[in-house]
Amino acid sequence: MTVNPPLPADAEERKDLTLVYGVLLVQSLMASGTHLVAKVVVYAVDAPTLTLVRCLVAAIGMGLLLLLSGKRPRLRREDVGLVLILSLLAIPVNQFFFLYGIRYTTAANAALLYATTPALVLLLSRIFLGEKLTRRKLLGVALAFSGVVMVILERGPDAGMQYVYGNLIIFIAVIAWSTYTVYGKRLITKYGPIGASSITLMIGTVMFLPIGILPALQFPYGTLTTANWLQILYLGLVTSVLAYVLWYFALGRIEAGKVALFTNLQPILTTVLAVILLGQSLTLLFVVGGLVVLVGVIVAQYG
C-alpha cells in the first residue's frame, strides 16, 4: 500500500485557491440570472409577497441542507447582536429592497449598481477589518468596473428620471449586501458557511414576517403560472440557498474584497446565458468589456 506524500504548503495553498475560485465562478453563474428572473416575476407577484415566499422556500431548502450535512448550529449569546444585524441586512433590506426596486428600473441598471459591490466591500473591509488596500486591488476593481460599464452601455442602460427611484432603492440593497459580506466573515469561523447562512436566513425571514405576512395571505396564488413558480424556486433555492452558502464558503477562505470582485462577472455571465438560451448575438464591445472584467478580477486576486 502506497501513501501519497503531503503536498508542500504552497502547493496546498494553490489547490485551495483553485477550489475557492471554482466555487465563486459557480456562484456567479447561479447569481447571473437573478436580475432577469426577478425582473420578470415581480410583475406577477408583489415585492412583499415574493420576498416572503422566496424566503420560506429558501428556509425549507436550507433546513434540508442542514439535515443532509448533519449540522445544527447553535447561536452563541455573544453573537446575537451581530446575527440580528446581518439577518436584517440579508432579508428585509437586501432581498426585499432588490425585489421592490427592480420593478421600477431595468435589469441592466440593477446589474450595474451591484457591480459597485467590490468597491464598497474594499472600503468597508479596510475600515472595519483592516484588510490591506493595495494598488493592485484598486487597479483590479477599477478595471473590472470599467469592463462592466462597457458591457452595460453596449446592452443599453437607461438613466432616465423614471428609473431614479428604482435605482436608489436597489443601491440601498447593494449597500446592505456589501455590509453583509464584510461582517459575515466573523460568523463563518464559528458556524461554517452553511451554519452562518442558515442562521441569518431564518432569523431574517422571521424579521420580515410583519411586512410580508398580510400581503402573502391575501395574494391570489391561482393566478401564477408554472413558469412563475419555477422563477420563485430559482430565487429561493438557487439564489438564496446555494449561492449564499457558496458565497460564505469563499468568504471563509479569502479576503472579502476579492470575493466581492466576482460580482462583476455576473453581467458578463448573464449576457452569455442570453446568447446561449435566447440566441442573442455577441458584439465586439461586449467581448472587449468581458476581457477587461476578467483582467481586473485576476489583477485584484494577486493584490
pLDDT digits (tens, 9 = 90+) for 81-133: 999 999 999 999 999 999 999 888 877 677 777 877 877 887 887 777 777 77
Give the residue with greater pLDDT, 211 vs 17. 211
CA-to-CA dists, residue 132 to 136, 137, 266, 303, angstroms: 11, 9, 25, 9
Secondary-structure percent of the chain, ordered helix, strand, coil, rounded to 5: 85, 0, 15
The answer as to whether 183 is a domain residue is: yes
| Cβ 119 vs Cβ 260: under 8 Å | no
CA-to-CA dists, residue 211 to 178, 191, 208, 217, 266, angstroms: 23, 28, 5, 12, 30
Q: What digits encode the pLDDT tens for the residues 228-270?
A: 999 999 999 999 899 988 988 888 888 877 787 787 777 777 6
The CA distance from 165 to 104, in Å, is 7
| Cβ 100 vs Cβ 167: under 8 Å | no
Query: Which range of residues forms the domain containing residue 112?
Result: 28-132+159-258
Q: Is the alpha carbon torsion for 183, 185, 191, 195 positive or negative?
A: positive
Mean pLDDT of 271-289: 67
Mean pLDDT of 157-168: 70
* Among 71, 75, 32, 107, CA closest to 206: 75
| Cβ 24 vs Cβ 250: under 8 Å | yes
Q: Provide the pLDDT for residue 200.
A: 92
CA angle 63, 64, 65 (to 5 degrees): 90
The CA distance from 243 to 23, in Å, is 9
Q: Is the pLDDT of residue 57 over 70?
A: yes
The CA distance from 42 to 38, in Å, is 6
End-to-end distance of the chain based on CA atoms, in angstroms? Answer: 43
* Among 123, 119, 109, CA closest to 140: 119
Q: How many domains does the chain have?
A: 1
The answer as to whether 233 is a domain residue is: yes
The answer as to whether 199 is a domain residue is: yes
The answer as to whether 16 is a domain residue is: no
Q: Name the band, by pLDDT with cuts 50, 70 and 90, for residue 3.
A: very low
For the question of whether the overall pTM of this predicted structure is more than 0.85, the answer is: no
The answer as to whether 297 is a domain residue is: no
The answer as to whether 100 is a domain residue is: yes
Half-sphere exposure of 32 (CA within 13 A, CB side): 19
Residue type, 251: L
Percent of the chain with pLDDT over 90: 31
SS (H, E, C) 98-152: HHHHHHHCCHHHHHHHHCCHHHHHHHHHHHHHCCCCCHHHHHHHHHHHHHHHHHH
The answer as to whether 302 is a domain residue is: no
Q: Name the band, by pLDDT with cuts 50, 70 and 90, for residue 218.
A: very high
